[in-house]
Amino acid sequence: MSEMSEGDLAAVSQLRSSVMRLARRLRHQHVEQSLSPTEMGVLGTLARCGSATPGELARREHVQPPSMTRIIAMLEEKGLVRREPHPEDRRQVVVSMTEQAQAILDESRRRRNAWLAELASGLSEEEWATVRAAAPALYKLAHL
């Protein structure tokens, strides 16, 4: 994209503000109150990407490796992840989710989807069509 017009800059500002507010409201819909947003994020990454080393998780979650080590220890203590020897490098471990963690994520997603669907029911058909059409581009932005 080249230089943005004033209208584009205003749209970017409105998008940023809207996405941040919606994300904040969505975070309050989680099921397991004892898990921090960071812990939920790690579980979500494991669900999306599969098992990973602590270093890989730290990179994906944009935290320092020592912080990720602490997060993994807390999740392991809660029975939500397990550490197993790395299949090729015995100096490392691989972290994977437990069935309990998957159940928490599934229920959290179900609850958040229901909340968002209820919220979306307040939109007009035209507004909903616009949101539905924008969903793939928003997904791409979130994963760049």
Give tens-digit pLDDT for 69-107: 999 999 999 999 999 988 888 888 999 999 999 999 999
Is a pLDDT exceeding 70 seen at residue 2? no
Task: Measure the CA–CA gap between 84 and 103, rounded to whole angstroms.
Answer: 21
pLDDT at residue 142 in the model: 85
Is a pLDDT exceeding 90 seen at residue 34? no
Structure pTM? Answer: 0.77
The third-level CATH classification (topology) of the domain covering 26-142 is: Arc Repressor Mutant, subunit A (1.10.10)
Q: How confident is the model at residue 27 (pLDDT cuts 50, 70, 90)?
A: confident
